[in-house]
Amino acid sequence: MLVLIGSCTISAAQTESTENEKQEITEVFRELSAGFSGHSLAKIGRAAFEGMEFVEEPYSMRPSRALAMLSLEQDYIAQILEAAELAGYTVAEMPPVDPFQEVSPALDDTSAFRSHARILDRDTMRCWLDGDFDGALERIAGVIRLADMLIETSDPIATIVGGALREMAKDRLEAMADAAVTRDPAPQFSLTAIDAARDQILSQPRYDPHDHIRLTTTAMRRHMLWMRETFESEDGAKYYTHYLAHYGQTEQALLKRNAQIQVIPEDLEFLKAYISDDPEVSRKALDDHWESLTAEAQTDAYRKHLEMIKKVEWWPTDFIPRLYPGDVAQQPTAEQISQHLDRISTMLDQLEHAQTRDEVRASLLRLRITLERDRSQVTRICANVAGSTALMNWKKSIETYDASLAALDRLETFVEDPGGR
Q: What is the DSSP string of 164-182?
A: HHHHHHHHHHHHHHHHHHH
Q: Per residue in 86-145, pLDDT tens?
A: 767 888 888 998 998 888 888 888 989 999 999 999 999 999 999 999 999 999 999 999
Mean of pLDDT values over 245-253: 75
Per-residue pLDDT of 375-387, as tens digits, reads 888 998 999 887 8
The answer on pLDDT for 323 being more than 70 is: no
The structure's pTM equals 0.82
Question: pLDDT at residue 20 above 70?
Answer: no
pLDDT the model gives residue 421: 53
**At residue 233, does pLDDT exceed 60?**
yes
Residue 257 CB partners (closer than 8 Å, separation 6+): 286
d(CA 340, CA 344): 6
pLDDT confidence of residue 11: 35
User: For residue 158, which phi and psi values (nearest 5 degrees)?
Assistant: -60, -40
| pLDDT number for residue 384 | 87
Q: pLDDT at position 3, please?
A: 33
The Cα-based distances of 229 to 193, 234, 360 in angstroms read 52, 12, 29
Which residues, in sequence order, are bridge partners of residue 54? 49
Residue of higher predicted confidence among 12 and 319? 319
Range 226-236 average pLDDT: 92
Does position 1 have pLDDT exceeding 60, yes or no?
A: no
Taking the CA atoms of the chain, what radius of gyration do you get in angstroms?
25
pLDDT of residue 311: 67
What are the domain boundaries of the chain? 2-204+396-420, 215-388
Predicted local distance difference test score (pLDDT) of residue 316: 62
The per-residue pLDDT for 414 is 96
Between 69 and 30, the higher pLDDT residue: 69
Q: In the prediction, which pLDDT does 23 show?
A: 57
Which one, of 244, 263, 342, lies nearest residue 301 by Cα?
Answer: 263
In this predicted model, which residue has the larger pLDDT, 175 or 280? 175
Q: Is the pLDDT of residue 40 over 90?
A: no
**Distance in angstroms (rounded) separating the CA atoms of residues 126 and 52:** 9
| Helix, strand, coil content of the chain in percent (nearest 5) | 70, 5, 25
| pLDDT band, residue 337 (cuts 50/70/90) | very high
Lowest-pLDDT range, 50-54, 56-60, 311-315?
A: 311-315
**Which of 389, 387, 384, 390 lies closest to 226, judged by CA?**
384
Confidence band for 264, pLDDT divided at 50, 70 and 90: confident
Q: What is the pLDDT of residues 105-117, one digit of tens each?
A: 888 889 899 999 9
pLDDT at 16 over 50: no
pLDDT of residue 5: 32
Contact 133, 193 (CB under 8 A): yes
pLDDT band of 328, cuts 50, 70, 90: low
Confidence band for 78, pLDDT divided at 50, 70 and 90: very high
pLDDT band at 326 (very low <50, low <70, confident <90, very high): low
Mean pLDDT of 265-289: 87
pLDDT band at residue 19 under the 50/70/90 scheme? very low
For position 8, what pLDDT does the model report? 37
The pLDDT mean for the chain works out to 86
Q: Residue 387 has what pLDDT?
A: 81
